[in-house]
Amino acid sequence: MKLVLLALGLGICCGALAQEHGDKERAVDIKRHRAMAKAHEAHAKCLESKEAEKACLEKLAKDCKGLGIGKYCGMRHQH
């Protein structure tokens, strides 16, 4: 029963957070996603160049500052 109530509460909460954006907010989102993609592409090229992973991550963190969630624009993966 508690799980059902929790799931229902999360559905209501998250549904309230998913709001439609106007044209201005949409344009900002597009710009932000393009900047994140550019930062991640630069990171991939850095890794391909055989540069040290630490140096590539430092550059990615700098490029992502203020763009997305977390230090690396929200991208996480396993190692």
Q: What's the confidence (pLDDT) of residue 51?
A: 96
Q: What's the confidence (pLDDT) of residue 11?
A: 55
CA distance 18 to 49: 40
Which phi and psi angles does 20 have, rounded to 5°?
Answer: -70, 145
Digit-coded pLDDT (tens) for 16-54: 566 677 999 999 999 999 999 999 999 999 999 999 999
* pLDDT interval class at 68 (50, 70, 90): confident
Q: What's the confidence (pLDDT) of residue 3?
A: 54
Is 54:75 a contact under the CB 8 Å cutoff? no
Q: What's the confidence (pLDDT) of residue 71?
A: 83
